Structure 1
Amino acid sequence: MIPVKGFSGKKVAVLGLGRSGLATARALQAGGAEPVCWDDNPAAREAAEGEGLVCSDLRRHGAFENIATLIVSPGIPHLYPMPNPVVAAATDAGVPVDNDIGLFFRSFAGPEWHNYDTPPRVIAVTGSNGKSTTAALIHHILTEAGRDSQLAGNIGRGVLDIDPGGDGSVVVLELSSYQTELARALTPDVAVFTNLSPDHLDRHGGKGGYFAAKRRLFAEGGPDRAVIGIDEAEGAFLAGQLAEGPSDDRVIRISVARKLTGPGWQVFARKGYLSEYRKGRQTGSIDLRDIKGLPGAHNHQNACAAYAACRSLGLAPRVIEHALHSFPGLPHRSQIIAEADGVTFVNDSKATNVDSALKALSAFKKVRWICGGLEKEGGLEALNGAEGHVIKAYVIGREAAGFAMQLTADAQVCTTMTAAVEQAMADAQPGEVVLLAPAAASFDQYDNFEQRGDDFTAEVKKRL
């Protein structure tokens, strides 16, 4: 646990009592603060009270008298599409609003660090797609290299639930836009921006607000090194804003769209080969084509980002290459769940938006595509760019018929996962891939994308 500093003897309100909220309340208590907790869910309040935490209705008049700050869980809106009433009440009362990420960055460092040969480092990863895989891959590389590493944030453990930093240790954080937009302190040593595509636009008031939330990770604290994916205009703009000039190697540009040249520091992947250039000279190269845990160009982008982050900590290219080959991939993200009779079955339930689904489709040549669900803003037109990879689409979800009508590929309305898997397996031929890449949210039929991916996996395995 990381005890929260700066609030000893003060009352701190905690809104939302899920994983991060409970960890925050415990860490506040450990730092000498008095957490005052609230969640609209009675079961969540009961669980908190079972741990001895105090719950008080933060919606009542006068609830923010003598409250030092309000800590908000990631899923609770503070501005768009409209503020949560509790957040609005705190704002009206002049009470600062923060989250667990902000508390972590103000509390992680300790006086014992003066005795360390190498102070602990924090690598923070954000972006629209690939941030979970990139963060997990960085953690895997560091662990394989014998470095003390912890994975936390939007993946792994809550940030305040991890162990204090040791000599030479590294904390790898995956941070969503919900987390970066509100944190009052953001001071990573290395910050990574994978890419940007439209997502959560209602929460951020449009694409500009979404990018601004991501950009805060780089603008607020000024990381020692910034790893920036520049295949979108926003990433290229961000890299230009951070660099003092073409040779400023504090910014490491990454790409899977083109070869990068120039006097700075670049990492790019083309035709399955990762290359590192520094000061105009090649300093590293890795063949990514046979790494099963990282299929497709989107995973090659993740590999470039992880490679660059680890190189910034001084790891040798060959050490990183060795670790890449043992990376198993993440559940629900281009996860190979079975191979039978020449057919490969891949679970990419995390492909909840059009861009991530397009990248998943592009990773394979002959695809039986299971897709559909709760459609997001922007339509599905971009998916038709991958129609050359799709033999047939099998559409699930309550609005499967409407979803199917937007596809140019041959599409069959299946509605349920059971029907889609059954038909796709009946049709599949050797050399083909049955891929779940929904391009939609799961909430019309499932509680979350993990449950959807587990259902796909179970349906496949019971037929093998």
Structure 2
Amino acid sequence: METVLVIGAARSGTAAARLLKQQGYEVILTDSGPVTDRSGLEGIKIVDNGHPEWLFEKEYAFVVKNPGIPYRVPVVKRFVDAGIPVYTEIETAFRAAPSLRYGAITGTDGKTTVTTLLYEMLKRKSDSARFAGNIGIPLSEVVLEAEGEPADIALELSNFQLMGTETFRPEVCTVTNLAPDHLDYMDSLESYYESKMKIYENCREEDWFIRNTDDPEIMKYATDIPCRIIDFSLTRECDLCRHDGKVWLLGQELFDEKDLKLAGDFNLGNAMMAAAMAFRLGVTPDDIQEVIRTFPGVEHRIEFVAEHNGVRIYNDTKATNTHAACAALSAFPERVILLAGGKDKHISFDGLKRYDSVVKQCYSFGETRDRFGDVFTHQTSVDTMEEAVDLALGLAEPGDTILLSPACSSFDQFANYEERGRVFKDLIRSRLQ
């Protein structure tokens, strides 16, 4: 029996361990902290509170690591240096599930919106449709639940997950856009962009890659594409484009622009990519159009929270980088009271400067609070998001928009961006009671 080591006992690690055990491997699951919840891990050897030396002396068929653990961390680097394959659970799940069909989405921004829209469209085709990946559900969990039955999967992938793939192959995939991000994890911006292109690496001639021709970085880095290229643009006519208020794919009308409720051209682009992917996976134009008409948006992504005394309030906590915050600001013409800041990811905020005339006031908080003074003419630094909320509500007048769009990750003061968004909404609701 071959042995596999799984590093990291978070949700994806435990799901991978369970799947590998089911496949007949001897599985060792290790974590630097305590593994308190061991339900479902019967028959798996758990080594917690550190990685003892004997772990490195055993022979492994391969190693599976949590995608959030950088390759330079010693416990991972020792296996890389020894020439042992190191995967993420996406790769191991893919190998275990030949009956699943994948529509895969990566990119810097918009991944969750495209993935969620694609899932809603796939559901119209079949009750067996699922979503997985960076959206919060480990693919290994979906594979375990599928029990070998066919299913269509809307799969959101971070570059961390893609870096640990070797054979993964989607039938249709896209890179939504490329902008600086994760420079605290990656060795360089170039390596970050290159890692995204692994999404089509194993595609076949009949598969599709939807190429965003409006993004110059994608046009630079998307090379040696082995499958059919579907060119997409919001500004010119091509394979996937807008014309006379409608969206067209290879001469087929997909939907009417006016039916989409999401704000901003970037969200129209997200919807176009999702619709094209759904069409490739067998969803009819009628079903695509029904989803477009009814889709309310994704939680935490320019999510409408409340309107009070003529002030509209939005939660865009998922904007964890400059590019995403710029996209949010582009959806509003003026009078935005911006709440921004968080953990420093060592990326530039210069792109936000072009929205200085849109931002009535910026209240910045957290680790990066003082960096926004060089970006906006009207800016105030505070310690916490709660202080920023109170100041914003005190300043706001009818016609203003309060927008939480941090341009930073949440890990200085919150467990994740979802917690930051929930806290924001709770603060708003408590203040408006």
Q: Does the alignment reach a TM-score above 0.5?
A: yes
Q: d(CA) in 2 for partners of 1:363 and 1:15?
A: 41
Judge conservation of contact 1:101–1:185 (CA < 8 Å) in 2.
no
Judge conservation of contact 1:269–1:301 (CA < 8 Å) in 2.
no
User: What is the CA distance between 1:452 and its match in structure 2?
Assistant: 1.4
**Structure 2 counterparts to residues 25-174 of structure 1, below 5 A:** 25-42=17-34, 44=35, 46-48=36-38, 51-52=41-42, 53-56=44-47, 58-61=51-54, 63-78=56-71, 83-109=72-98, 120-146=100-126, 148-162=128-142, 163-164=145-146, 169-174=151-156
User: What is the CA distance between 1:357 and its match in structure 2?
Assistant: 0.2
Judge conservation of contact 1:252–1:308 (CA < 8 Å) in 2.
no
User: What is the CA distance between 1:358 and its match in structure 2?
Assistant: 0.4
- 2:236 corresponds in structure 1 to 259
Judge conservation of contact 2:6–2:27 (CA < 8 Å) in 1.
yes
Tell me which amino acid in the other structure corresponds to 2:217: E
Judge conservation of contact 1:12–1:71 (CA < 8 Å) in 2.
yes
In the alignment, is residue 236 of structure 1 matched against residue 219 of structure 2?
Answer: yes
Q: d(CA) in 1 for partners of 2:27 and 2:385?
A: 44
- 2:363 corresponds in structure 1 to 394
Q: d(CA) in 1 for partners of 2:84 and 2:45?
A: 19
Q: How many residues align?
A: 425
- 1:18 corresponds in structure 2 to 10
**Closer, same or farther: CA 165–363 of 1 in aligned 2, 3 Å:** farther
- 1:191 corresponds in structure 2 to 173
**Closer, same or farther: CA 87–168 of 1 in aligned 2, 3 Å:** closer
Gaps of 5+ in 2: none
Tell me which amino acid in the other structure corresponds to 1:396: F
- 1:3 corresponds in structure 2 to none
Judge conservation of contact 2:249–2:276 (CA < 8 Å) in 1.
no
Q: d(CA) in 2 for partners of 1:310 and 1:63?
A: 44
**Closer, same or farther: CA 166–318 of 1 in aligned 2, 3 Å:** farther
Which region of structure 1 is more displaced relative to structure 2, 338-347 or 134-143? 338-347
Judge conservation of contact 2:118–2:275 (CA < 8 Å) in 1.
yes
**Closer, same or farther: CA 62–340 of 1 in aligned 2, 3 Å:** closer
What SS does structure 2 have at the residue aligned with 1:405?
helix
User: What is the CA distance between 1:299 and its match in structure 2?
Assistant: 1.3
- 1:217 corresponds in structure 2 to 199
1:367-425 superposed Cα distances (whole Å, 9 cap, x missing partner): 1111122233232111011223222212222442x223112331223332222212212
Q: d(CA) in 2 for partners of 1:17 and 1:168?
A: 28
**Closer, same or farther: CA 459–371 of 1 in aligned 2, 3 Å:** same
User: What is the CA distance between 1:447 and its match in structure 2?
Assistant: 2.1
Judge conservation of contact 2:210–2:232 (CA < 8 Å) in 1.
yes
- 1:323 corresponds in structure 2 to 291
1:139-167 superposed Cα distances (whole Å, 9 cap, x missing partner): 01221344531001111421111132777
Q: d(CA) in 1 for partners of 2:409 and 2:300?
A: 13
**Closer, same or farther: CA 200–295 of 1 in aligned 2, 3 Å:** same
Structure 1 ranges of 4+ moved more than 4 A: 165-168
Q: d(CA) in 1 for partners of 2:314 and 2:359?
A: 14
CA RMSD after TM alignment: 2.4
User: What is the CA distance between 1:311 and its match in structure 2?
Assistant: 1.8
Judge conservation of contact 2:337–2:360 (CA < 8 Å) in 1.
yes
User: What is the CA distance between 1:197 and its match in structure 2?
Assistant: 0.4
What SS does structure 2 have at the residue aligned with 1:201?
coil
Q: d(CA) in 1 for partners of 2:40 and 2:355?
A: 51
Normalising by the residue count of structure 1, what TM-score does the alignment of the two structures yield? Answer: 0.85
- 2:326 corresponds in structure 1 to 358
- 2:248 corresponds in structure 1 to 276
User: What is the CA distance between 1:359 and its match in structure 2?
Assistant: 0.4
Judge conservation of contact 2:364–2:380 (CA < 8 Å) in 1.
yes
Tell me which amino acid in the other structure corresponds to 2:225: L
Q: d(CA) in 2 for partners of 1:462 and 1:183?
A: 45
Judge conservation of contact 1:64–1:93 (CA < 8 Å) in 2.
no
1:157-178 superposed Cα distances (whole Å, 9 cap, x missing partner): 2111113277763111101000
1:12-33 superposed Cα distances (whole Å, 9 cap, x missing partner): 1110000000001111111111
In the alignment, is residue 375 of structure 1 matched against residue 344 of structure 2?
Answer: yes
Tell me which amino acid in the other structure corresponds to 2:231: R
User: What is the CA distance between 1:268 and its match in structure 2?
Assistant: 4.5
What SS does structure 1 have at the residue aligned with 2:382?
strand
In the alignment, is residue 429 of structure 1 matched against residue 397 of structure 2?
Answer: yes
From 252, 258, 265, the counterpart of 1:297 = 265
What SS does structure 1 have at the residue aligned with 2:271?
helix
What SS does structure 1 have at the residue aligned with 2:18?
helix
The sequence identity of aligned pairs, in percent, is 32
Q: d(CA) in 2 for partners of 1:128 and 1:314?
A: 27
1:100-145 superposed Cα distances (whole Å, 9 cap, x missing partner): 11112211015xxxxxxxxx42111111111111111100122134
Judge conservation of contact 1:342–1:431 (CA < 8 Å) in 2.
yes
Q: d(CA) in 1 for partners of 2:55 and 2:363?
A: 54
Q: d(CA) in 1 for partners of 2:80 and 2:283?
A: 45
1:179-233 superposed Cα distances (whole Å, 9 cap, x missing partner): 0011122111111210100111242321211121111111234471111222222
Which region of structure 1 is more displaced relative to structure 2, 185-194 or 17-26? 185-194
